[in-house]
Amino acid sequence: MIDAKDNVSLDACCVDENMRRDIAPSKPIVLFLCDGIHGASLMAAAVMKHKAGSFFDIHCAHTAHTMRTEQASKALIQFQISTSGLTPFPLSELTLAYVDYLVAVNPAAVQSGLPLPDYGKFVPWDVTEHSEAGLAAVLRAVNQNINYFLSLYLFR
């Protein structure tokens, strides 16, 4: 407690230590976007959540009217990676106005002509380049790109 006889500057600021702990910096928002054919944005979001979910607020969207989530979920289950808590939205229904990182997991995602949310950084990938090899190849490409993304943006 400060008494009138204490010599304290009028510019002094006292912040309660409990108040300081309550203020947590917000996590960067990452939006994975795909065309919906392979469910690649769902796979990318699930892998990112599994590896670094405590560091990022992760979302996924697609440009098609529907997304093939069943095959993507089955591919992830083989590696004990869950999609729980992740809901892929059509880009036209996305409510995010701004994302820190917009990750286009394949070129078709941004060639749709649909309006994108505002973003801090745009990160282009092409994880479906070898999609004829199956979802295992897509998932492998997703994992490699996630590792690279984390090495650049998390561990700098």
Task: Dig out the tokens for 74 from the structure.
Answer: 């089955």
- In this model, does residue 50 exceed pLDDT 80? yes
pTM given for the model: 0.80
Integer-rounded Cα Rg, in Å, for the chain is 21
Tell me the per-residue pLDDT of 81-121, one tens digit each, with 9 for 90 and over: 999 899 999 999 999 999 999 999 999 899 988 999 999 99
CATH architecture of the domain with range 25-153: 3-Layer(aba) Sandwich (3.40)
HSE (side-chain half, CA atoms, 13 Å) at 130: 8
The string of DSSP codes covering 44-86 is: HHHHHHHHHTTT-EEEEEESSSS--HHHHHHHHHTTT---TT-
Residue showing tokens 């749709």 = 112
Of 9-23, 43-57, 59-73, 112-126, least confident by mean pLDDT is: 9-23
Give residue limits of the domains in the chain: 25-153
